[in-house]
């Protein structure tokens, strides 16, 4: 079964093709991705209308590239999947519209996929794929969540961000330091040159006794420190970046370990854009190794939003019998969509 996946939830246009034949993990055949980072840099953040228009321009050329790259034709597709939500409404509508129109033209089934489920399952495309059950740390853009995952479609929320997510903390702190968009990767690179102990920044909810996250207070502390430094900020920028990263990473690591202890599981999956952070990987690997816990990540090029994770999630849900495929081409999108809503069978 060949599944085409289209991702257009925010500022990356992704298209991919996976083979979901049999009961083995779907195999990635071809994928292509276009990032809008350069376009949005002038505005210091994503402009939704520009994002939507760019998706319109990019999605069909990427689709042709992916199908031809796999040595196939459109008629070979069995299912067309797309990101239904969460995300920017206009951007989601582009992917949904293209997917449903393509499926209708080919007479093939179409399927909407939850963006976060795509991230959650993306490590199954890596060379070191996990097995169920596991604890998942989802650190994607505006979402930071800890989940217990027993199988495809069985997700128990253990804790989540109650205000700013980890990715937002990276990006907003970077902006306060005067770093360019996208701030998170710039902050992480600058932090390599700084002293992580230079500034004493808060670790919100670190000792809360639950598995929730809060990073708004850290962002405020970074703003306060940046103002205190004043004209000295440029020469202390690396130290402030390193101290900020250390605070975020410590909270993520300790909450993940607490989730493992609470569930009694010995396997951790990390997914989402922040999962590419080198310091997070180093500290999680060390902490998990000491406790005999296996930790899994997506391949680095699949940490950001991409079509491969959407095609994969669709394929795995089909293999698990969680979807009843229908040739119905009316569609909607869900800019806000709780992952818990996809834990039971869904007809499409």
Q: What percent of the chain has pLDDT over 70?
A: 99
Q: Do 17 and 103 sit in the same domain of this protein?
A: yes
Whole-model pTM: value is 0.95
For residues 207 and 250, is the Cβ–Cβ distance under 8 A?
Answer: no
CA distance 275 to 258: 18
Q: Do 54 and 83 sit in the same domain of this protein?
A: yes
Q: Do 292 and 175 sit in the same domain of this protein?
A: yes
CA distance 271 to 114: 14
222-277 pLDDT tens trace: 999 999 999 999 999 999 999 999 999 999 999 999 999 999 999 999 999 999 99
83-114 pLDDT tens trace: 999 999 999 999 999 999 999 999 999 999 99
For residues 38 and 114, is the Cβ–Cβ distance under 8 A?
Answer: no
Q: What domain count does the chain have?
A: 2
160-212 pLDDT tens trace: 999 999 999 999 999 999 999 999 999 999 999 999 999 999 999 999 999 99
Question: Which strand (E) or helix (H) includes residue 290?
Answer: helix 278-290
Tokens for 336, please give them.
Answer: 């806000």
Q: Do 32 and 101 sit in the same domain of this protein?
A: yes
Q: Identify the CATH number of the domain in which residue 32 sits.
A: 3.30.420.40
For residues 44 and 181, is the Cβ–Cβ distance under 8 A?
Answer: yes
Q: Do 106 and 150 sit in the same domain of this protein?
A: no
132 to 58, 145, 287, 339: CA distances (angstroms): 36, 18, 21, 18
Tell me what the mean pLDDT of segment 52-76 comes to: 98
Does a structural domain hold residue 126? no
CA distance 64 to 276: 29
Indicate the DSSP class of residue 159: E
Structure confidence at residue 23 as a pLDDT band (50, 70, 90): confident
Tell me what the mean pLDDT of segment 117-121 comes to: 97
Strands (E), the chain: 2-7, 12-19, 27-35, 79-85, 110-114, 134-140, 143-151, 154-160, 267-271, 294-296, 323-324, 346-347
347: pLDDT strictly greater than 50: no
Q: Do 211 and 105 sit in the same domain of this protein?
A: no
333-345 pLDDT tens trace: 999 999 988 875 4
For residues 134 and 149, is the Cβ–Cβ distance under 8 A?
Answer: yes
Domain housing 315:
2-120+303-347
Does a structural domain hold residue 127? no
Let me know the angle formed at the C-alpha of 272 by 209 and 212, rounded to the nearest 5 degrees.
15
């Amino acid at each position: 079964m060949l599944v085409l996946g289209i991702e257009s939830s925010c500022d990356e246009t992704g298209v991919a093709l996976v083979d979901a034949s049999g009961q083995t993990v779907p195999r990635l055949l071809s994928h292509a991705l276009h990032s809008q980072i350069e376009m949005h840099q002038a505005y210091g953040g994503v402009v939704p209308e520009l994002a939507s228009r760019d998706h319109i321009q990019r999605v069909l050329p990427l689709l042709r590239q992916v199908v031809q790259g796999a040595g196939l034709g459109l008629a070979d597709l069995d299912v067309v999947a797309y990101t239904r939500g969460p995300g920017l409404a206009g951007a989601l509508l582009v992917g949904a519209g293209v997917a449903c129109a393509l499926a209708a033209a080919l007479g093939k089934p179409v399927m909407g996929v939850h963006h976060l489920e795509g991230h959650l399952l993306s490590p199954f495309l890596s060379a070191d794929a996990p097995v169920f059950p596991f604890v998942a740390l989802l650190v994607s853009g505006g979402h930071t969540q800890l989940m217990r995952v027993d199988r495809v479609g069985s997700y128990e929320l253990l804790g989540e961000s109650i205000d700013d997510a980890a990715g937002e903390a990276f990006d907003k702190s970077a902006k306060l330091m005067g770093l360019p968009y996208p701030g998170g990767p710039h902050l992480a690179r600058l932090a390599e040159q700084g002293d992580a102990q230079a500034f004493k920044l808060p670790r919100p909810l670190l000792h809360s006794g639950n598995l929730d996250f809060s990073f708004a207070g850290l962002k405020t502390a970074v703003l306060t420190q940046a103002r205190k430094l004043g004209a000295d900020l440029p020469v202390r920028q690396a130290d402030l970046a390193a101290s900020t990263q250390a605070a975020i990473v410590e909270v993520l690591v300790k909450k993940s370990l607490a989730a493992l202890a609470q569930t009694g599981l010995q396997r951790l999956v990390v997914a989402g854009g922040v999962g590419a952070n080198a310091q997070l990987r180093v500290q999680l690997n060390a902490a998990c190794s000491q406790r005999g816990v296996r930790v899994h990540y997506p391949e680095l090029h699949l940490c950001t939003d991409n079509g491969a994770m959407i095609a994969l999630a669709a394929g795995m849900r089909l293999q698990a019998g969680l979807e009843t495929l229908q040739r119905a081409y009316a569609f909607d999108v869900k800019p806000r969509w709780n992952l818990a809503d996809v834990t039971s069978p869904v007809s499409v």
